[in-house]
Structure 1
Amino acid sequence: MKAALKTSVILSWINLVVSCGCVLLGLILSGIVGPKIGFVAVVLFGAIGLHSYESLRLRNCIVYNAPMDKKTPLSLQVMGFIAIFFSFVTIRIGFDLFRNAKEVAKENKKMFVEHIEQYEKVNFELLYQMLAVGMVIFGLAVLVNVLISMSLLRWYKSQDENQNPE
């Protein structure tokens, strides 16, 4: 139980920081490119941030034996399902990018070198492989955090039912 709580806290904070940064980038992107692309990023990363926040609240309820707000379980589950969807998409895109890094690098290098010659010496294939590994790691971190949070929520509910039978 202690290991699950500690892992949940660490992953929640990491996911919260990364997702809030991506929400900020999404808001900036929507101002530059248009609201459609930025809106999707804000919603998906916002769901991860909200899930991480609710996960931290759940941890506090467990550690300090405090009552849980009535909205927290539903919020944790809904945001958790959105985060699971996002994690599967992120992991899949990461694996595809890693597999096709050479072709993607070749196409993007042409585009960058046309505009700025200094990019000619950049190893785009390695850059895209590192990006793909980062995407897979982030997707797995989100997935593991959601699964741990859901199991902790189930445990908390069972403990609460045992203490307060109605």
Structure 2
Amino acid sequence: MTAPSSHSPAPTTSATTSAPSPTPFVPAVSPAKVTAACPYLGPQEIAKAIEDPNIYDSKEISPRSAGHGLTAYGCDYHRADDPGSHLAQLAVLPTPVKLPQAKALETATEVCADKPQSLTETAVYCLSKDNGTAIVVAALSHGATRIAIFELADPVNDSYHDGYVTLAKTLADRL
């Protein structure tokens, strides 16, 4: 085996780099008006919470009607090196009024295929109807209730319970 040459070319950052850098994440801190979902939860915060070593990125989804006169702002999370992959999706739904937290959680857990389990005073988790993990958070913000529905593509894994709590608390703090 020969020692590496001290005359080898310096590494370059060319188009041959395997994965693009993820979009820089700047967290939202309870803005007065919801206009997007991605600023509420960063891709690497998700990866850390579920102990996933992959590098993820996010992409804002066009707002859509969520029924009951609500607009859902959405964010899709995927591997940075594979934009077609799917890790999770976040929907943030601002309500025009202050709702009782229990009512907001009850309404939002329509995404659940099983009985929601408590994570915090303001959040629950469950198996989603898409066979993933749904974390639902309801928080009072700016005189109204905001709901976040975060859905991981993988089914509930109770070994990630602490990570689910971390994600729920992060969302509640930022709503």
Choose between structure 1 and 2: higher strand proportion: 2
Normalization by structure 1: what TM-score?
A: 0.23
Higher relative contact order (CA 8 A, sep 6+): 1
Q: TM-score, normalised by structure 2?
A: 0.22
Query: When you count helix as a share of all residues, which structure comes out higher?
Result: 1
